[in-house]
């Protein structure tokens, strides 16, 4: 996000936790980039919340031409043990949230005559792990929706791509079982986790004009995990 702001892009940062958004905005302002980030409380599963989010973006910065769908929650239950509530919780955030985000913002991109969308999937959308059944399903759906939207929107000048991270050092992954993380890193050819900045750099590239002829792709940023 700091890379976008540094490039002069106005950013509306949405999260269910408004305090976390406000703290991130304040951190960017403290880095000497004031007034370019607006925090907003958003439940990505709620179409009304998305409509309010889009209005906020237009009010502060005009018609939005960039969108990053990055909301997600972990779910570790396997096929035989997962409950309906757990399935709904994971799929609603990752899959439904991504769909609603695109559906809400794309009309503004049509009006602007251009746009770029990056949906954050996961390497788990391509490989199995023996658990996390809903998470695998939801992230695989994000990758499929990305390809479908890319074909549908290409002639309108709107590019749609995905980034699929491997294991990233974030607060979400700190809740994973230690042995699972150890085994995942050991199976990663580069023998480490990614940093959030490495994932952000991939997202920034796909949003930028440097990727002007890239659409419908899924950029894997996993240290070689899926290539084994």
Supply the residues annotated as catalytic.
135
The Cα-based distances of 193 to 169, 212, 216 in angstroms read 6, 29, 26
DSSP 8-state secondary structure symbol assigned to residue 171: T
Do residues 24 and 37 make contact, with C-beta atoms less than 8 angstroms apart?
Answer: yes
Taking the C-alpha atoms of residue 84 and residue 91, their distance in angstroms, rounded to an integer, is 10
Q: Phi and psi at residue 207, in whole multiples of 5°?
A: -80, -20
**Which residues neighbour 52 within 8 Å (Cβ) at sequence distance 6 or greater?**
40, 42
Short-list 90, 64, 67, CA closest to 77: 90
Taking the C-alpha atoms of residue 20 and residue 22, their distance in angstroms, rounded to an integer, is 5
CA 138 to chain centre: 12
Q: Is 109 exposed, middle or buried (0-12, 13-18, 19+ CB in 10 A)?
A: buried
Taking the C-alpha atoms of residue 55 and residue 43, their distance in angstroms, rounded to an integer, is 15
Strand partners, 12: 38
């Amino acid at each position: 996000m700091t890379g976008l702001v540094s490039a002069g892009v106005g950013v509306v940062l949405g999260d269910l936790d408004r305090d976390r958004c406000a703290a991130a905005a304040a951190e960017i302002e403290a880095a000497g980039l004031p007034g370019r980030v607006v925090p907003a409380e958003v439940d990505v599963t709620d179409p009304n919340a998305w409509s309010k989010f889009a209005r906020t973006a237009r009010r502060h910065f005009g018609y939005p031409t960039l969108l990053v769908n990055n909301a997600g929650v972990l779910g570790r239950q396997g096929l035989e043990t997962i409950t309906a509530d757990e399935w709904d919780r994971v799929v609603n955030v990752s899959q439904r949230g991504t769909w609603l985000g695109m559906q809400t913002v794309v009309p503004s991109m049509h009006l602007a005559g251009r746009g770029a969308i990056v949906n954050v999937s996961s390497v788990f959308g391509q490989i199995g792990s023996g658990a996390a059944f809903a998470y695998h399903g939801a992230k695989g759906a994000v990758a499929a929706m990305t390809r479908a939207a890319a074909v549908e929107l290409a002639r309108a000048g709107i590019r749609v791509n995905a980034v699929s991270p491997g294991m990233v050092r974030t607060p979400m992954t700190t809740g994973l079982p230690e042995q699972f993380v150890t085994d995942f890193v050991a199976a990663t050819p580069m023998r480490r986790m990614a940093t959030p900045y490495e994932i952000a750099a991939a997202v920034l590239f796909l949003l930028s004009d440097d990727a002007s002829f890239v659409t419908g792709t899924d950029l894997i940023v996993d240290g070689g995990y899926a290539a084994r």
